[in-house]
Amino acid sequence: MVSELIYVGEIMNQTDIKSETLNLRISSNLKAALRKVAKLERRSLANILEVLIAERCEKLGIPIETGDALHND
């Protein structure tokens, strides 16, 4: 059985999580602000980045494909 998570208004399958790697460089000030947001929301840095990106995509009307839609090439 595949577990599901509620994630920014969408249901994501467990297989959608942590399947890709992203490395980036940001300013120390931005990282400090990100840490504050993550701490306030009791999230990890990686998770708060996912949430912020998903929220921005939702605001701009950019769909985020989940589950089988990603693997039907």
Mean pLDDT of the chain: 78
Beta strand 4-7 with 10-13: parallel, antiparallel or unpaired?
Answer: antiparallel
Domain residues for the domain of 56 are 27-66
- What is residue 69's predicted lDDT score, i.e. its pLDDT? 52
Range name among 37-46, 51-60, 64-73 with the lowest pLDDT average: 64-73
Cβ-contact 58, 65 below 8 angstroms: no
pTM: 0.64
Q: Is residue 16 part of a domain?
A: no
Q: Is residue 46 part of a domain?
A: yes
Whole-number Cα distances in Å, 36 to 39, 42, 45, 53: 5, 10, 10, 17
Q: Is residue 58 part of a domain?
A: yes
How many domains, the chain?
1
Q: Give the ranges where the chain is alpha helix by DSSP (H).
A: 28-40, 45-60, 68-71
Q: Is residue 34 part of a domain?
A: yes
For residue 60, the one-letter residue type is L
Structure tokens at 34: 């990100």
